[in-house]
Amino acid sequence: MKQLEDWDDFVAARYREGKSEEEFRNYKADANPTVTEFYRQNHAYQTFELVVEKKAQYCGLTRGKKSIWEMADYLNTLVDDSDPDTDLTQIEHLLQTSEAIRNDGHPRWFVLAGFLHDLGKVLCLYGEPQWAVVGDTFPVGCAYSEEIVFPEFFAANPDRSNRAYQSKCGVYEPNCGLDKVHLSFGHDEYIFQVTRAYVPEEAQYMLRYHSFYPAHKHGAYKHLMNEHDGRMMEWVQKFNAYDLYSKGRERPNIQAVLPYYQDLVSEFFPEKIDW
C-alpha cells in the first residue's frame, strides 16, 4: 500500500510552506517514479464513463450498515509496509488533522470533518485500484485544466479524443454548479455520499472537494462553479491547510483523545449508517 502514502507525501511536498511559485511549478522534482506512474494510470483511466460507473457502484450505499468506528478500524488495516516508525496509520492521520483543527478552536463540525475526511479510502479495501481512490481530482466530460499535475498524461485518456468532452464546459452548462459536475472518482466523493445526510454543508464541501487541488489551490474551473460554490470553496481552503500541514506534528495520543471523538461522532451520527 505504498502508493497511498506516496500520493499524500507528494501533495505535501508540492505545497510545502514557504515554497516559491517557481519551485511549485517544478512539482515534478517532488515526484518519485511511483507517483509519476500513479498519475500516468489515473489520467489514462479516469474517463467520464468510468466515473459514472463507479458512482453507480458505490454511491447508492448498498454495502451494508456499519458504524464510523467499525469503518475507522477497517481503514486502519491499510498499513504502510515501508517504515512503521515514521509513517502514521490512517487513524493517526485523521486524528492529527482533526486535532490541529480542534486546537485552533474551530466548531465541532469542522473537527468532525477532519476526523472523517479520508475514511473513503476504504475503497482500496473494497478492491479498487489506487488510481480510483486517491490523487488530485478533476472534472471529467470537459477540457482538462493546465492546473492539473501531469496534464500530458491525459493524452492516453480516450476522452481526450471525444470532442464533446473537450470544449471548455464540455457536457456542462457554464456556471452550472459543482454538484452537477462529475469529478474523477475517489475517496472524496465516497465519504461525501456516506456522510452527507449528517453533517453541515460546509463539511460536505470539505469532504467532497478536499482533493480538488486544481480548484481550491489554483482557482481553476470557476466557469463551472456558481456563486454558492465560490463561497463554500473558502471552507475547503481552510480545511486544506490542516490536511496538508498537520503531518509531521507529534503523534496523537489516541487513547487520550478517544472519549472526545466518541462524543463527537455520536453527536452527529446514529450508531450505524449505510456504506
Residues near Fe ion (CB under 5 A) are 118, 243
User: Cβ of residue 259: shortest distance to Fe ion, in angstroms?
Assistant: 23
In angstroms, what is the minimal distance from the CB of 253 to Fe ion? 20
Distance, in Å, from the CA atom of 214 to the CA atom of 89, rounded to the nearest integer, reads 27
Cell of 21: 511559485
The nearer residue to Fe ion, 140 or 206, going by C-beta atoms, is: 206
Minimum distance between the CB of residue 17 and Fe ion, rounded to whole angstroms?
A: 17
Q: Determine the Cα–Cα distance for residues 132 and 128; give it in Å rounded to an integer.
A: 6
* Nearest CB to Fe ion, comparing residues 12 and 176: 12
Cα separations (Å) of 171 from 66, 99, 160?
36, 41, 14
Is 232 within 8 Å of 202 (Cβ atoms)?
yes
CB hemisphere CA count around 145 (13 angstroms): 21
Q: How far is the CB of 122 from Fe ion (least distance, A)?
A: 12
CB of 11 to Fe ion, least distance (A): 9
Strand partners, 274: 65
Nearest-approach distance from CB 243 to Fe ion, in angstroms: 5
Q: Which three cell numbers stand for residue 69?
A: 468506528
Helix axes 90-103, 254-268, angle to 10 degrees: 80
Q: Which of 118/159 has CB closer to Fe ion?
A: 118
Residue 122: partners with Cβ closer than 8 Å, 6 or more residues away = 71, 74, 75, 78, 190, 275
C-beta closer to Fe ion: residue 101 or 142 = 101
Between CA 70 and CA 64 the distance in angstroms is 12
Give whichever of 99 and 243 is closer to Fe ion, judged by the CB atom. 243
Q: Which is nearer to Fe ion, 118 or 128 (CB)?
A: 118
Cβ atoms of 175 and 223 closer than 8 Å:
yes
